[in-house]
Structure 1
Amino acid sequence: MTSDPHAFDHEHADALARLHHHYQSMPPVAAMDVTVAGYDGHRLRLHAPLSTHVNDKGCAFGGSLASMMTLASWGLVSLHVEEAGLEAEVFVADSQIRYLAPLFADLDVEAELAPDSAWPGFIATLRERGRARIGLIARAKLPDGGIATEFTARYVAIAKPRAAGAMSR
């Protein structure tokens, strides 16, 4: 990956276009003015302008930060499920948020796998059982590189039923 934080691997361009379209198909998300800012196969970055998410104190609204981190983590799981050639619905199972500092800048959020989780095991379990869960971490960054907000969550993927006569991969 290039050092440009808003770049993404062109190998993933089609998947990211589908993800962006999916985000825009949800009216509350479309109103958030969320864009995919980068993806390197391991981390998904989303961006939204502060002007759309400003609160009465002039900083980012806590609910917007929570939504952005939920969306980034959901998107990362969805991208890995698609990359594995599987079809599944992805849901957030539970999450925790720590607000560490007010954010007086655009919302830049990055989601990645939690240290105690692994994609191969998650995908294998989803293939075998039709259901799997995985831990993620997302962070909203301050302009100086510090962390404004940290989000930890577990996501669940549930395989979609295959059509009768469909071949398995």
Structure 2
Amino acid sequence: MQHEDPLRRLAAHYASMPPVAAMRIDIAGFDGERLRLRAPLADHVNDKGSAFGGSLVSLMTLAGWGLTTLRTEAAGLDAEVYVADSQIRYRAPLCDDLQAEAVLSDGDWDTFVRTLRTRGRARVQLAAQVVLPDGAVATGMQARYAAILRPPSGS
């Protein structure tokens, strides 16, 4: 599988951040265009027995961050990736394990990479969602992520 090493690096990066490690996130899939993450409901349950809203947002944010990081690395670029802003819409409570998916929602990866190479920074618009077991959207997010090239080592 061509994505295996980048996914291992991404999983290790998630595990290196204590708040993220506590979420017990698993990478559920990556096809080059979409990144899917999952986390057990038992670690994210609120007082109503459904998924905590902050956990839903965190999982979607991490899916978008991970997708942007994977695409940046695939282009051979070493960059810091940040979430710039996001809009969240809660549609229905989730009473099952959390599964988030992030995908490009506006623009294209080629333009993002070309801009990052030439300007040293670029932005990309992503959509992420957490779905219910029946496939309906529980929570959706639109977010912009920014990438900034790291200076070459030794500089």
TM-score (structure 2 length as normaliser): 0.98
How many aligned residue pairs are there? 155
1:164, CA displacement in angstroms?
4.8
Equivalent residue, structure 1, for 2:144:
154
Identity of matched residues, %: 61
- Gapped runs of 5+ residues in structure 1? 1-9
Equivalent residue, structure 2, for 1:101:
92
Equivalent residue, structure 1, for 2:5:
14
Runs of 4+ in 1 over 2 A off after TM superposition: none
How many angstroms apart in 1 are the aligned matches of 2:129 and 2:44?
Answer: 16
**Pick aligned residue for 1:123 from 113, 132, 135:** 113
How many angstroms apart in 2 are the aligned matches of 1:130 and 1:55?
Answer: 41
Partner AA of 2:117 in structure 1: R
Q: How does 1:19-168 map to 2 (within 5 A)?
A: 19-114=10-105, 116-164=106-154
How many angstroms apart in 2 are the aligned matches of 1:163 and 1:42?
Answer: 30
1:163, CA displacement in angstroms?
3.0
- The answer to which structure has the higher strand fraction is 2
The superposition leaves residues 74-106 of structure 1 with CA deviations (integer Å, 9 ceiling, x where unpaired) of 000000000000000000000000000000000
1:162, CA displacement in angstroms?
1.1
RMSD of aligned residue pairs (Cα, Å): 0.9
1:117, CA displacement in angstroms?
1.6
How many angstroms apart in 2 are the aligned matches of 1:80 and 1:42?
Answer: 9
How many angstroms apart in 2 are the aligned matches of 1:157 and 1:163?
Answer: 18
- Gapped runs of 5+ residues in structure 2? none
TM-score (structure 1 length as normaliser): 0.90
